[in-house]
């Protein structure tokens, strides 16, 4: 069964827009797991425009499933990770100015840096996943730098899916097959939704985990958090519903 990790960044963004602690990020994470989510993802950025450093520390004792911290491995984030020791760290090649993640690593060009970071995170007891584009060569390279998993950057799939689902998913299946052949676990995330998630799961049934934030939180505004998580979990069943 593919695990559902809920990214609560958008909850923090909404809180920060008004100040105070409404909505409560920690309580929302607790409810997500209570309603069936398998874990929680956060992506703290240097400007703290959504998830803050304090949120990461506050969430650690509350998250009962898998806690996944994603982001660019700058020294400040690495120190937080070593303090908190999440179950998984997802390395993302974001600059501080980016609105959201929009590409994967060129692993070969950053091999020395990533090898050192992966080793440091493993020493802290974390599973390490590397965010990659749909390119089998990147999966091979991820194994060489010591990663445990790769996370497929799925926005290109989501964009093409309404027009041509099979063509949209083809490079992702090829990359997933390469990851499996070299012994890597497989995650996916970015722009996954109730409209495209079940199709992706059917084409890549061995997916370990999906991380979903924006679409899930938006859906929860009209359906409620409990019902929304139930729908997303249904998408991840072997014959999950395509909405």
Active site (catalytic) residues: 43, 70, 190
Cβ(189)–Cβ(211) below 8 Å: yes
- How far apart (Å, rounded) are the C-alpha atoms in residues 14 and 90? 23
Give CA separation, 237 vs 137, 167, 180, 214, in Å. Answer: 29, 23, 20, 21
Six-digit token string for 220: 């929860």
Say if CB 176 and CB 206 are below 8 A apart.
Answer: yes
- Owner of token pair 């874990």: 39
E strands in 106-236: 127-132, 149-153, 185-189, 209-212
CA–CA gap between residue 7 and residue 26 (Å, rounded): 12
Q: Which two tokens stand for residue 82?
A: 């070593």
Task: Tell me how far apart the alpha carbons of residues 30 and 222 are, in angstroms, rounded to a whole number.
Answer: 20
């Amino acid at each position: 069964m593919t695990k559902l990790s809920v990214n609560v960044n958008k909850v923090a963004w909404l809180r920060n827009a008004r100040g105070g602690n409404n909505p409560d990020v920690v309580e929302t994470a607790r409810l997500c797991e209570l309603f069936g989510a398998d874990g929680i993802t956060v992506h703290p950025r240097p400007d703290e425009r959504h998830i803050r450093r304090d949120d990461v520390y506050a969430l650690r004792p509350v998250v009962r499933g898998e806690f996944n911290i994603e982001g660019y491995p700058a020294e400040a984030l690495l120190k937080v990770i070593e303090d908190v020791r999440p179950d998984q760290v997802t390395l993302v090649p974001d600059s501080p100015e980016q609105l959201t993640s929009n590409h994967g690593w060129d692993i070969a060009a950053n091999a020395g840096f990533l090898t050192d970071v992966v080793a440091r995170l493993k020493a802290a007891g974390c599973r390490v996943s590397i965010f990659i584009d749909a390119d089998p060569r990147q999966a091979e390279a991820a194994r060489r730098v010591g990663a445990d998993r790769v996370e497929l950057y799925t926005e290109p799939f989501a964009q093409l899916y309404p027009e041509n689902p099979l063509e949209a998913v083809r490079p992702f299946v090829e990359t997933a097959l390469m990851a499996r052949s070299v012994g890597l676990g497989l995650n996916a995330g970015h722009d996954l939704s109730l409209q495209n998630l079940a199709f992706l799961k059917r084409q890549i049934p061995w997916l370990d985990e999906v991380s979903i934030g924006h679409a899930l939180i938006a859906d929860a505004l009209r359906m409620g958090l409990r019902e929304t998580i139930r729908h997303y979990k249904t998408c991840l069943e072997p014959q999950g519903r395509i909405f």
